[in-house]
Amino acid sequence: MMSPKEVLKMVKDKNIRVLDIRFMDFPGVWQHFSVPTTELDEGSFEDGFGFDGSSIRGWQPINASDMLVIPDAATAKIDPFYEVPTLVMIGNVADPITREPYSRDPRYIAKKVESYLKQTGIGDTVFIGPEAEFFIFDDIRFESGRNSAFYAIDSQEGVWNSGREEFPNLGYKPRHKEAYFPVPPTDKFQDIRTEMMLTLQDLGIDMECQHHEVATAGQSEIDMRFKPLLQMGDQMAWFKYVLKNVAYRHGHTVTFMPKPLFEDNGSGMHTHVSIWKDGKPLFAGDKYAGVSQDALYAIGGILKHCKAVCAFSNPTTNSYKRLVPGFEAPVNLAYSSRNRSAAVRIPMYSSSPKAKRIEFRTPDPSCNGYLSFAAITMAVIDGIQNKIEPGEPLDKNIYDLPPEELAQIATAPGSLDEALASLKADHAFLLKGDVFTQDVIDMWIDYKIENEVNPVKLRPHPHEFHLYYDL
């Protein structure tokens, strides 16, 4: 991690002429603007750069639009895609008058949860390890008008193209739910995923693996090594940016939309969480599956608050096309060491205490990483503080349970509407330590209902014409 002086020295030594300043908007899309590096000096790391906050979704009104973004020297990296060598720094957003951090800056919320964890005395570091799945498509077309709506996805790997004239069609297209994980030529994206992985590694991001995922048409997964929460929030922003740009360079497109294909697997983002104190893992112990009592309380916190957390970890209407009970999705509010339909799993790959963590399987990669990781961590902290017991583990095959036993198991929300209602009813745990503010909760709910829930509710669905036109 560099200091301001080291950043300025690198700019001079490498003759970098452009600075790209980036920050995350409220819904979770990276924003940026560029200035010549002649505008960068030591004062820039305190004074920041001005921009119009009223044009950023969910932020300032037009009558109070001026904002500052203050570059964080520790985040400095050279962009791997720009033609002109460009230094990238992630910024913290602040009010230009008070100089106070902006409450709706997702990165600030992530910083606050790390500080709050230390204040509680529970631990000093929360490690986050997300497993983000995504699709690599060849072509995507969509339209949503007043008198028409459609989408059309295509992929050289899509099994629906097994009969297409390709001059020649060479076959090797993975069947639905059978793409985990054959070698090439069935897997057609090995080289692209490797380029994605190594580009991230060249940026200083520690990588673990890459592979094809279950669905046809290029579903994939690339895993980063676990890191402290704020650092992983920054890395998730780079992760999405790199994957999209590598794919774009090769004439493909990447989406983190959770459920783009009907009757095939959706994309999740299993999120591994562990808390450490003084260099020691707190989740290893002698309880169920080798975890500690604190780990069980942490699971209890996640299960208790899961429906509210989903408003941040599964924040799109499309998220709930993946989270449907009765399929393989992790919708059951229970925990297990083996059962992958449980919302929380305790991985058993390693017996090392350092590897002991809990895996929250419900989230998906459409989320704003800063907000999702912060909400999950606040649920974990609340569970430990209030000694919330998670109940008995669910090690039975969920699909073999009799209906009366299955009815006793709560499930994740069935819609974004339900998740937002749960957040409205259950958010006191998020307000602790001023991590999330009431303003953030209210704006998140209002923004999502006004811009996503209601617009989807109001529009006729193409399949409704299939079902109802002849009535």
3-state secondary structure 158-219: CHHHCCCCCCCCCCCCCCCCCCCCCCCCCCCCHHHHHHHHHHHHHCCCCEEEEEECCCCCCE
Can 270 be counted among the known catalytic residues? yes
Active-site residue among 22, 212, 270, 305?
Answer: 270
Active-site residue among 79, 294, 359, 452?
Answer: 359
Active-site residue among 105, 133, 264, 382?
Answer: 133
Can 452 be counted among the known catalytic residues? no
Decide: 298 and 362 in contact? Cβ < 8 Å.
no
Helices and strands, counts by H and E, the chain: 14, 18
Rounded Cα distance between 426 and 420, Å, is 10
Closest by CA to 422, choosing from 337, 319, 306, is: 306
Looking at 79-120, which runs of residues are DSSP E strands?
Answer: 86-94
Rounded Cα distance between 156 and 101, Å, is 47
Closest by CA to 375, choosing from 419, 409, 338, is: 419
Closest by CA to 39, choosing from 20, 65, 67, is: 20
Q: How many CB atoms lie within 10 A of CB 82?
A: 14
Decide: 316 and 452 in contact? Cβ < 8 Å.
yes
Can 131 be counted among the known catalytic residues? yes
Active-site residue among 17, 340, 459, 461?
Answer: 340
One-letter amino acid of 351:
S
Can 146 be counted among the known catalytic residues? no
Active-site residue among 187, 221, 382, 452?
Answer: 221
Distances (CA, A) of 370 to 15, 98, 107, 435: 33, 24, 6, 12
One-letter amino acid of 414:
G
Can 361 be counted among the known catalytic residues? yes
Active-site residue among 72, 131, 157, 195?
Answer: 131
Can 213 be counted among the known catalytic residues? yes
SS3 468: helix
The HSE-up count of residue 369 (CA atoms within 13 Å, CB side) is 29
Residue-wise over 128-145: b if at least 16 C-beta within 10 A, else e?
A: bbbbbbbbbbbeeeeeee
Decide: 460 and 146 in contact? Cβ < 8 Å.
no
Can 99 be counted among the known catalytic residues? no
Which structure tokens are listed for 24? Answer: 């995350």
Active-site residue among 6, 41, 52, 139?
Answer: 52
Phi-psi domain of 99 (left: phi exceeds 0; alpha: psi -120 through 50; beta: other): left
Q: Which residues are catalytic?
A: 52, 131, 133, 213, 221, 270, 340, 359, 361
